[in-house]
Amino acid sequence: MRVQFKVNGRNVDVDVEPRLTLADCLRHHLRLTGTHVGCEHGVCGACTVLVDGAAVRACLILAVQADGVEVVTVEGLSHDDHLTPLQASFRKHHALQCGFCTPGMITTAHALLTNEPHCDADRVREVLSGNLCRCTGYISIVEAVLDARSAYGHEGEPAKDPAGNPAKNPT
Ligand code: FES
Ligand code: FES
């Protein structure tokens, strides 16, 4: 079946088996391997991408269900030339070790901070409770997300890039 949708701002047209998950479509058809696949049944959160702005498990929806939507993967939340504020905060707080869970953490946290830049630690823990990390532990991850809130407008502070300049977009 042919499916057309937008990924990271680019229109794509793919020919897929009806049973193919969006996660496998992204990884194998579109070579966007930043989206990781762990449990493949909606438990670990490693495959989380943004679908029309909402954090969604890409292993739980079929590629054909993405027809007409806008998908953003972790690659779409990255820059070639510098770390985004959220990425920089993960580095600053040592919020990753092997990095397997990190794309899902970043996409989930980005969706949260975009919609709720004033979230507190309890809310961050609640939202990230669906993302499993086998090695870092969660304290540093929560601290990284909390520290990145200012880039999303927390407390009315202007968003800044890692160099301290006003950011046009927190991504
Ligand atoms: S691979 Fe999708 S939630 Fe684990
Ligand atoms: S950094 Fe290894 S699973 Fe989270």
Q: pLDDT tens digits for 68-123?
A: 999 999 999 998 889 999 999 999 999 999 999 999 999 999 999 999 999 999 99
Query: Which token pair is 101?
Result: 């869970």
Within a 10 A sphere around the Cβ of 68, how many other Cβ atoms? Answer: 10
Confidence (pLDDT) at 64: 98
Question: Counting ligands in written order, which one lies closest to the CA of residue 140?
Answer: 2
Q: Is the CB of 130 under 6 A from ligand 1?
A: no
User: Does the Cβ of 47 fall within 6 Å of ligand 1?
Assistant: yes
CB-based contact 62:19 (threshold 8 Å):
yes
Q: What is the mean pLDDT of residues 131-143?
A: 95
The two beta strands, 54-57 and 70-72, are: unpaired
In sequence order, what are the residues at sequence separation of 6 or more whose Cβ sits closer than 8 angstroms to the Cβ of residue 70? Answer: 5, 6, 51, 52, 53
- 170 versus 117: the higher-pLDDT residue is 117
Q: What is the three-class DSSP state of 8?
A: coil
**143: CA distance to ligand 2 center in Å?**
15
Checking DSSP bridges between strand 2-7 and strand 70-72, what pairing results, if any? Answer: parallel
- Please report which confidence band the pLDDT of residue 163 belongs to, taking 50, 70 and 90 as the band edges: very low
